[in-house]
Amino acid sequence: MTKLDEIDHRILRELTRDARQSNLALADRVGLSPSACLRRVQTLERIGVIKGYRAVLDLDRLGIGFTAYVTVGLNNHTKASQEAFERAIARAPQVRECHNITGTVEYLLRIETTDLAAYKHWHTEVLGVLPQVQSITTFVVMGSPKDERA
């Protein structure tokens, strides 16, 4: 684990809030000179604390009107079954996140589609036909009052 100080944490919070801000603005917000701030950001990138930068998309403008979290239980708990499931899920553009979790099911997925009908089609024709799948539970997102994903 990398040892970070309070300034590093402030830099990370600021970049999480707005990664496109100038180094000058970032330095001002965290209380460093621009050169010291740039060195710290470059170090955080080099050591892998900052893995990359992403755009935050407006799903409504992209025509994505339906988001759900889906739990998936597998009928076979072998490594081969998990790998086959993960390969199939990797090919599905509707799956924006896939997490292997503990508990009564093996996976938690975040799904984005245009609408409920598109989700139903994906649920029935893609996820539901995978031979590894034993159970599917869908949780429809009605709103997201806090979402810090980038």
Is the same domain home to 78 and 134? Answer: yes
Is the same domain home to 80 and 135? Answer: yes
Is the same domain home to 29 and 85? Answer: no
Is the same domain home to 28 and 71? Answer: no
* Per-residue pLDDT reduced to its tens digit, 48-76: 999 999 888 899 999 999 999 999 999 99
User: What one-character DSSP code corresponds to residue 50?
Assistant: S
Is the same domain home to 31 and 72? Answer: no
Residue 145 lies in a domain: no
Is the same domain home to 131 and 74? Answer: yes
Helix axes 34-46, 6-17, angle to 10 degrees: 80
Please enumerate, as own/partner, the contacts of 119-124 that have beta carbons within 8 Å and a separation of 24 or more: 119/66, 119/68, 119/94, 122/92, 122/94, 123/70
Global confidence as pTM: 0.84
Mean of per-residue pLDDT scores for the chain = 96
Helix (H) or strand (E) holding 28: helix 23-30
Beta-bridge partner residues of 100: 107
Is the same domain home to 136 and 70? Answer: yes
* Per-residue pLDDT reduced to its tens digit, 85-127: 999 999 999 999 999 999 999 999 999 999 999 999 999 999 9
Number of domains, the chain: 2
- 19: domain range? 6-46
What mean pLDDT comes out for the span 12-20? 95
What tokens were used for 117?
Answer: 């009908």
What is the model's pLDDT at position 150? 63
CATH classification at residue 119: 3.30.70.920
Is the same domain home to 73 and 128? Answer: yes
